[in-house]
Chains A and B, each alone.
Chain A
């Protein structure tokens, strides 16, 4: 039997933050998978890393920068090509109340 680190409620919260609708079965399944993943990390945690610098990136590159120059943008029609809805050159979304 596995100890439950992540509750189903937490999985549902994370799904809500990402605006994902989970079915009963999916919520069940993802809770199981999350806990499995956590268990793997616990295994990794057994390693003593006190003498190792944290890695911020797998590549050893640094300062990949560009000059501040303007390049042409997309035509508005292409910008809006994948929009579910549009209005006068704008993306149209369900009303947001502030």
Chain B
């Protein structure tokens, strides 16, 4: 392509706090409209905001995870704009001296570094509801005043794939450090890429369009790809791109121009006199740094180095913290790490997907999986039975040994018991036995099959093979 793609990404993440940013109203999702509001979050005259410490903790943690410099002294500002989702007609946010600045996030297996410009804390707006054909809009302020984090990158992203990779990695980190649930469908993680094109080697940036209404990782990739295509067509035809906000429309797979909220953004930031500065001293910073868990990238590298796992496995196993933690716990008991990985990527993830449960909600534990692997190792059950045991344990929490006993699944590994059955099979198939003795190796497979049939699949296949050869 003759154009260079230039993308900057702005994301808003709802922070996992029980109460709002400046008042004690609950942040629980799905409550009755306007049931979680008070004089502070409704902006009544005379009310005063008091900041939630947990929200500041979350921003510091994120800033550390994204390699940012944490501001030792941070201040808050009023961002003024008139819109019904904002009861005070200003949003308490940060302009100068945000809590985090100048960090980076590595993506695509460390081959690309995306610089983070800033991370700041602000309050969320209420929710507007539009009803088709009505002359009014409805406002629910339950979300208004909830704590929100904004993370802005430098314009370092160069393709739709990189945009998707950035959001994937960032979401994974936010979940690992427990600051945001990362749910894009429900809007707890919202991303707004701004996209522009310029000729390779050009010094000036092109005119950018900002994308909104992106509610999945796939939509990030598709929306950005569409926008790149749209803009290059305009430029190819000698036209000019207009600076505007465009809405991603999932159904048509296109972006649609949105009429702007206000003619031009003129937020008239000024300092929020109702809040005093936040000073982060060494003790606070060190406490947050010490509580930082192992991050996805470090864990991927460790899974490859310490367990000898393929890069693909390491990627899948570390995408969520709970799966990664689970792997570590099973691996502490079962040392055939690739086998552990196969079980988790296969059966466990399949069942989690099918049931829509989280690992915590299911009955699967590291001990159960380790026991199943050991039962297969010892030859007590074959792989097919093991999968059935796994599924039952997953649903009921019954221990594998109990399931094996209750369902009579144990393989017949007892030589005496198998000898009798095998002699019977040879006697009943004397023609096939003759063929084998005459050198027809394939005949053995048939005899093994007959023994398995006699034992309803519970004979230990290795032992059947060995005994058959001996007796023939």
Q: Complex: how many Å from CA A52 to CA B34?
A: 46
Q: Complex: how many Å from CA A3 to CA B259?
A: 38
CB within 8 Å of B: which of A31-69?
56-59, 61-69
Chain A interface SS verdict (over half):
loop
Contact (A79, B37) CB under 8 Å given A65-B51, A66-B50, A70-B26: yes
- B residues contacting the other copy or chain, number (CB 8 A): 55
Which residues in A have their C-beta under 8 angstroms from that of B17?
68
Q: Complex: how many Å from CA A88 to CA B50?
A: 31
Partner of B52, one of A18, A61, A66: A66
Q: Is B407 an interface residue (CB 8 A)?
A: no
Q: Is A26 an interface residue (CB 8 A)?
A: no
Q: Is A71 an interface residue (CB 8 A)?
A: yes
Which residues in A have their C-beta under 8 angstroms from that of B268?
14, 17
Q: Complex: how many Å from CA A69 to CA B17?
A: 9
Which residues in B have their C-beta under 8 angstroms from that of A64?
50-51, 275-276
Q: Complex: how many Å from CA A72 to CA B141?
A: 15
A95–B276 CB distance below 8 A = no
Interface size class of A (residues with CB under 8 A): 35 or more
B35–A73 CB distance below 8 A = yes
B53–A67 CB distance below 8 A = yes
Q: Is A93 an interface residue (CB 8 A)?
A: yes
Q: Is B293 an interface residue (CB 8 A)?
A: no
Q: Mark A18-31, 1 if CB is under 8 A from B, else 0.
A: 11000000000000
B82–A93 CB distance below 8 A = no
Q: Is B457 an interface residue (CB 8 A)?
A: no
Which residues in A have their C-beta under 8 angstroms from that of B53?
65-68
CB within 8 Å of A: which of B45-92?
50-56, 75, 80-84, 89
A73–B129 CB distance below 8 A = no
B259–A97 CB distance below 8 A = yes
In the complex, what residue of chain B is closest to A75 when comparing beta carbons? B35
Partner of B38, one of A74, A87, A96: A74
In the complex, what residue of chain B is closest to A64 when comparing beta carbons? B276
Q: Complex: how many Å from CA A93 to CA B17?
A: 29
Chosen A-B contacts, 14 in total, with CB atoms closer than 8 Å, are A18-B82, A56-B75, A56-B271, A57-B271, A57-B273, A63-B276, A65-B53, A70-B18, A71-B25, A74-B37, A89-B34, A90-B33, A95-B134, A98-B258
Residues on B facing A (Cβ under 8 Å): 17-19, 23-26, 32-39, 42, 50-56, 75, 80-84, 89, 97, 128-130, 134-141, 247, 258-259, 262, 266, 268, 271, 273, 275-279
